[in-house]
Amino acid sequence: RPRVLSGIQPTADSFHLGNYLGALRQWVAMQDDHDAYYCIVDLHAITVEHDPAELARRTRVAAAQLLGLGLDPARCTLFAQSHVPEHARLSWVLECITGFGEAGRMTQFKDKSSKEGADRTTVGLFTYPVLMAADILLYQADRVPVGEDQRQHLELTRNLAQRFNHRFGETFQVPEPYIPPHTAKIYDLQEPTAKMSKSASSPSGIVELLDPPKTSAKKIRSAVTDNEREIRYDPEAKPGIANLLTINAAMTDRTIAEVEAEYAGRGYGDLKKDLGEIVAGFAEPFAEKVNGYLADPAELDRVLAKGATRAREVSGATLAAVHERIGFLPPA
């Protein structure tokens, strides 16, 4: 079975529709026919200023959401990145084969650091993509389900794998990105040319999976659209409407053409109202499941502990091979 690895940051109280449609839905589907490793990337979460108590709480909320979406610890390995020390250790080795200029070309770093300003930008934010490469390469992943925003980081990961293999001998599987064709980039409701993001979107621009249905419906009703009246899929001219059509189609498992046909001759208000109901239909049972998991934090911790033990079997073997290839003496 092909191996899959992906991660998500515990940087908010809820995942959003972009996380779900761009990545997490694929995580759930892929556990059926892949050897799947999924990771809550708390090491990545501290690359920006954070509150320790919040991080701990959000890590459990992240685990509860992943289980609530359908990850099954019997069919996939779910763990917290900080429980598996090989991630930080491989990251160091990879940093030492990454060019400074090469890392400097990562657009996510350029975007995030320009917003933070130089004094608030950490070195960890700069080396974030290398840590991400370590996350993936440790598990010899064949596929990495992510949104469009991670394409460049995946390309770096592939380059680092190939470079290491070339210099030190075949060690890493070179992974392929698995980016969904229609939902790779879900847009901010208030700014439909920018990606919906936990850290960059305003609260009214993002639909959180754990928002009360009324809140989501209200945000969707206020979504920025355009001055025309016609509902048609035209991302260039009508990015707001295109985004709503994309979300509707994905949430109802239809093609965009089918959704367009449903709304031929109807108004933006109908499209928004229906989407609010579609999201509510998803969010209500989801919130119930998540609350169920959160009611037993000790069990969540046990799931993560078991996942970390399994993850270390694979990551430990990869790291040992890496250390041997680069000339580190074996520990006695």
Binder of ligand ATP out of 77, 98, 150, 216 (CB under 6 A)? 150
Binder of ligand ATP out of 196, 271, 300, 303 (CB under 6 A)? 196
Q: Rounded distance, CA 332 to CA 327, Å?
A: 15
Q: Where are the alpha helices (DSSP H) in the chain?
A: 17-19, 25-30, 42-45, 52-69, 86-95, 100-104, 107-116, 123-138, 151-168, 213-221, 239-251, 256-262, 268-294, 297-326
Q: Does 243 bind ligand ATP (CB under 6 A)?
A: no
Q: Rounded distance, CA 166 to CA 128, Å?
A: 23
Q: Which is nearer to ligand ATP, 11 or 248 (CB)?
A: 11
| Residues of span 197-216 touching ligand ATP by CB under 6 A | 197-200
Nearest Cα residue to 97 out of 167, 202, 27, 36? 167
Q: Does 11 bind ligand ATP (CB under 6 A)?
A: yes
Q: Does 87 bind ligand ATP (CB under 6 A)?
A: no
Q: Does 129 bind ligand ATP (CB under 6 A)?
A: no
Q: Does 86 bind ligand ATP (CB under 6 A)?
A: no
Q: Does 18 bind ligand ATP (CB under 6 A)?
A: yes
Q: Does 8 bind ligand ATP (CB under 6 A)?
A: yes
Q: Which is nearer to ligand ATP, 106 or 322 (CB)?
A: 106
Instruction: Output the smallest distance, CB 41 to ligand ATP, in A.
Output: 7
Amino acid letter, residue 113: S
Instruction: Output the smallest distance, CB 47 to ligand ATP, in A.
Output: 9
β 76-80/35-40 pair status: parallel
CB-based contact 202:190 (threshold 8 Å):
yes
Q: Does 59 bind ligand ATP (CB under 6 A)?
A: no
Burial code of 167-176, b = ≥16 C-beta within 10 A, e = fewer? ebeebbbebe
Q: Rounded distance, CA 310 to CA 44, Å?
A: 21
Q: Which is nearer to ligand ATP, 71 or 319 (CB)?
A: 71
Q: Does 146 bind ligand ATP (CB under 6 A)?
A: yes
Instruction: Output the smallest distance, CB 56 to ligand ATP, in A.
Output: 17
Q: Does 9 bind ligand ATP (CB under 6 A)?
A: yes
CB-based contact 84:318 (threshold 8 Å):
no
Residues annotated as catalytic (active site), given as ranges: 112, 195, 198
CB-based contact 69:17 (threshold 8 Å):
no
Alpha carbon separation from 277 to 135, 182, 259, 274, 290 (Å, rounded): 37, 21, 15, 5, 20
Instruction: Output the smallest distance, CB 247 to ligand ATP, in A.
Output: 10
Q: Does 143 bind ligand ATP (CB under 6 A)?
A: no
SS3 (DSSP) at 69: helix
CB-based contact 268:241 (threshold 8 Å):
yes
CB-nearest residue to ligand ATP: 22
Instruction: Output the smallest distance, CB 194 to ligand ATP, in A.
Output: 9
Q: Does 185 bind ligand ATP (CB under 6 A)?
A: yes
Q: Does 19 bind ligand ATP (CB under 6 A)?
A: yes
Binder of ligand ATP out of 5, 23, 125, 210 (CB under 6 A)? 23
Amino acid letter, residue 268: Y
Query: Is the Cα dihedral 277, 251, 25, 151 positive or negative?
Result: negative
Rg (CA), the chain: 21
Residues contributing to the annotated binding site for L-tryptophan: 135
Q: Does 250 bind ligand ATP (CB under 6 A)?
A: no
Instruction: Output the smallest distance, CB 324 to ligand ATP, in A.
Output: 32
For binding to ligand ATP (CB under 6 A), which residues are involved?
8-9, 11, 18-19, 22-23, 146-147, 149-150, 184-186, 195-200
